[in-house]
């Protein structure tokens, strides 16, 4: 157990004000140890939080929070902030249902000035706050803490461009430069920061100068001062200063003797300030320092041992299915290009990059650019596959409509983390993709029900000449056997998985599995619809002639979703049938266990059966069987 004698005395940031620099350094060690122990017990983001311990302490020591506003970009580095702002006890419930969030959340604490979880929003938000304070005549500081990976997004420069012409505001941007976002950062901006940070020219000159002048102290001191002035003139900080910011740095983000006085000076200066701090992800825990990607968002583990790789074969995840399919299809089609907005590991593109480096593109945290870049490739006969989390595709929506669909370009979207994602909560939920894509002309939307169906529908959508999306959830499926070929299926055709009577259950996606269990108990027909768009209107019309009622099931928002597509299809065919739409409600669903959250929404087998019996008691009365305790696997695809 970490010694927390000093940390035990810290209830709010006010308790930091009276600590001297030596105590702050001691506290940093205790805080880092507590973060490690907490995250290893609950799971969560680790590397990024270990890297911001000293910076967090310095900010709360110098600034008068919560009166002064701190906005943590993305926010997966805010655990030390949470611990210092009265939520230390809550760390045992981190990212669990009814527990504290893994990201800043305004409803959770007055110290969380802005809710974050998506990248590159901090400067825009802090600028808005600064203008509001100015207009209200309130004197306060506004600090945006942003990582070097997040600096690759265009929104950052839009905000800085706006800030540069906004008079009479206090805005401090702190670039937390750890040479790492989630995947290794890419692009010209990263190269610029790397040159600025490494300073090899200066390091060499300094070492030579010290060796020559070490016996002449006055001259050595003069050389040191000249070196600092020369560095200030030559280092390419011009870019930030052209936006109107006073650039300071880079400084060591783990050195409290540098951080504290620098922040005190910048607080006194006010105006537009840009501080560049260099930190190390995983700082203080050697295993995380050596592999910050592995320790970015681990589950539970023993800190003394580290993360242990699974020894036996586990269930294949949908991400792994996609990654293998991408490599297999890339091997037979040299026009295939894989695109990711800075989520190489999370989206399963590591092997593709290794095998096909010239056809792999990590465009940085720039979802808008990713989509339009794909459109440009498609214009010239390439076959781009954009691998992107459902929640992040929201950020490229205009480009999806204007640049891809309007021109009917051949772009395939592989949407990982569709539906509820569990511990990351509402900020990362992929609940809205069906609704926001379904209204776009030319779009094809596929909802595979298991691992093999995912592979089939990826091939189908890839071969479709036009924009198409395949959505699949986080984690593993039901364990379906995966065929190794690259077969496809007819676009817009569903498959009846169980023949029944009176009630037709139309399942979209992986909720087919509990639907089959409920269908068995109710003697209902169960259909794997496969596609939301185009909807299988002929199948729906045929079922309407032989069934009394329909039930639609989707791991997505009900409003405007797949169930709505079924209702529209019935209406277009002038067929009147009652329809029960099951899915996610018109509400943001907080973090928790993925399976438990689905059950809470009535989307497990028992919940589905109960909803059907309540809505259609007469047709459901034919179902005399109870729900089996073991859910059957989906039938083999055809």
Which residues belong to the active site? 281, 367, 395
* DSSP letter (8 states) at residue 560: T
Instruction: Give the CA count within 13 Å in the CB-facing half-sphere of 619.
Output: 26
Query: How far apart are alpha carbons 503 and 67 in whole angstroms?
Result: 59
The backbone torsions φ and ψ at residue 72, rounded to the nearest 5 degrees and listed phi first, read -95, 115
The backbone torsions φ and ψ at residue 364, rounded to the nearest 5 degrees and listed phi first, read 85, 180
Query: How far apart are alpha carbons 608 and 33 in whole angstroms?
Result: 45
Instruction: List residues bridging with 445 in a β-sheet.
Output: 469, 533
Rounded to a whole number, what is the largest CA-CA distance in the chain? 99
Q: Which has the closest alpha carbon to 242: 272, 271, 265?
A: 272
Q: Are 368 and 398 within 8 A, CB to CB?
A: yes
Length, in residues, of the chain:
638
Query: How far apart are alpha carbons 130 and 465 in whole angstroms?
Result: 48
Spatial neighbors of 317 by CB under 8 A, at least 6 apart, are 474, 475, 476, 477
**DSSP state string for 569-583:** HHHHTT----EEEEE
Q: Which has the closest alpha carbon to 124: 106, 149, 142, 103?
A: 142
Query: What percentage of the chain's residues is helix, strand, coil (to nearest 5)?
Result: 45, 15, 40
Q: Which has the closest alpha carbon to 62: 114, 16, 5?
A: 16
Instruction: List residues bridging with 416 in a β-sheet.
Output: 389
Query: How far apart are alpha carbons 368 and 370 in whole angstroms?
Result: 5
For residue 277, give the H/E element and its range.
strand 272-278
Q: Are 11 and 53 within 8 A, CB to CB?
A: no
Query: How far apart are alpha carbons 536 and 469 in whole angstroms?
Result: 17
* DSSP letter (8 states) at residue 317: B
């Amino acid at each position: 157990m970490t010694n927390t004698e000093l940390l035990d005395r810290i209830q709010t940031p006010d308790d930091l004000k009276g600590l001297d620099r030596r105590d702050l350094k001691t506290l940093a060690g205790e805080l880092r140890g507590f973060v490690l122990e907490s995250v290893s017990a609950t799971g969560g983001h680790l590397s990024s939080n270990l890297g911001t311990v000293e910076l967090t302490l310095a900010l709360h020591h110098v600034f008068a929070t919560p009166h002064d506003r701190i906005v943590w970009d993305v926010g997966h580095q805010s655990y030390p902030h949470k611990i210092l702002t009265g939520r230390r006890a809550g760390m045992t419930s981190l990212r669990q249902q009814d527990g504290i969030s893994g990201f800043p959340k305004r409803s959770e604490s007055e110290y969380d000035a802005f809710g974050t979880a998506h990248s590159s929003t901090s400067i825009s938000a802090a600028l808005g706050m600064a203008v509001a304070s100015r207009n209200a005549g309130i004197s306060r500081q506004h600090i945006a803490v942003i990582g070097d990976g997040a600096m690759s997004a265009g929104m950052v420069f839009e905000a800085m461009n706006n800030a540069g012409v906004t008079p009479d505001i206090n805005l401090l941007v702190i670039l937390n430069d750890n040479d790492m976002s989630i995947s290794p950062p890419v692009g010209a901006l990263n190269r610029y920061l790397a040159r600025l940070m490494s300073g090899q020219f200066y390091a060499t000159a300094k070492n030579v100068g010290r060796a020559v002048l070490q016996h002449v102290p006055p001259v050595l001191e003069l050389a040191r001062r000249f070196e600092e002035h020369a560095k200030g003139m030559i280092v390419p900080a011009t870019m930030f200063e052209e936006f109107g910011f006073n650039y300071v740095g880079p400084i060591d983000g783990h050195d409290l003797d540098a951080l504290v006085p620098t922040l005190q000076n910048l607080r006194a200066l006010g105006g537009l300030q840009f501080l560049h701090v260099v930190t190390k992800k995983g700082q203080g825990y050697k295993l995380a320092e050596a592999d910050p990607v592995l320790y970015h968002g681990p589950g539970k583990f023993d800190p003394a041992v580290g993360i242990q790789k699974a020894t036996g074969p586990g269930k294949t995840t949908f991400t792994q299915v996609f990654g293998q399919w991408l490599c297999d299809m890339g091997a037979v089609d040299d026009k295939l290009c894989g695109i990711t907005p800075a989520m190489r590991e999370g989206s399963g593109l590591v092997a593709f990059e290794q095998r096909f480096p010239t056809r792999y593109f990590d465009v940085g945290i720039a979802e808008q650019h990713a989509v339009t870049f794909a459109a440009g490739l498609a214009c010239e006969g390439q076959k781009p596959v954009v691998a992107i989390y459902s929640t992040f595709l929201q950020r490229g929506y205009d480009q999806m409509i204007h640049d891809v669909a309007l021109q009917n370009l051949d772009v395939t979207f592989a949407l990982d983390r569709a539906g509820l994602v569990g511990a990351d909560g509402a900020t990362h939920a992929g609940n809205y993709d069906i609704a926001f894509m379904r209204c776009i002309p030319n779009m094809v939307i596929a909802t595979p029900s298991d691992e093999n169906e995912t592979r089939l529908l990826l091939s189908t959508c890839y071969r479709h000449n036009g924009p198409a999306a395949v959505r699949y959830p986080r984690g593993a499926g039901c364990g379906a056997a995966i065929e190794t070929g690259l077969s496809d299926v007819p676009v817009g055709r569903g498959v009846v998985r169980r023949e029944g009577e009176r009630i037709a259950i139309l399942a979209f996606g992986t909720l087919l599995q509990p639907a089959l269990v409920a269908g068995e108990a109710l003697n209902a027909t169960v259909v794997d619809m496969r596609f939301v768009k185009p909807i299988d209107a002929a199948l729906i019309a045929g079922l309407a002639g032989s069934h009394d009622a329909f039930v639609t099931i989707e791991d997505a928002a009900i409003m405007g979703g797949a169930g709505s597509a079924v209702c529209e299809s019935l209406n277009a065919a002038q067929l009147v049938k009652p329809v029960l739409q099951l899915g996610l409600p018109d509400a943001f669903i907080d973090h928790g266990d993925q399976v438990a959250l689905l059950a809470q929404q009535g989307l497990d087998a028992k919940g589905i059966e109960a909803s059907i019996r309540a809505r259609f008691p007469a047709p459901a009365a034919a179902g005399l069987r109870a729900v089996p305790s073991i859910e059957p696997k989906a039938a083999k695809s055809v």
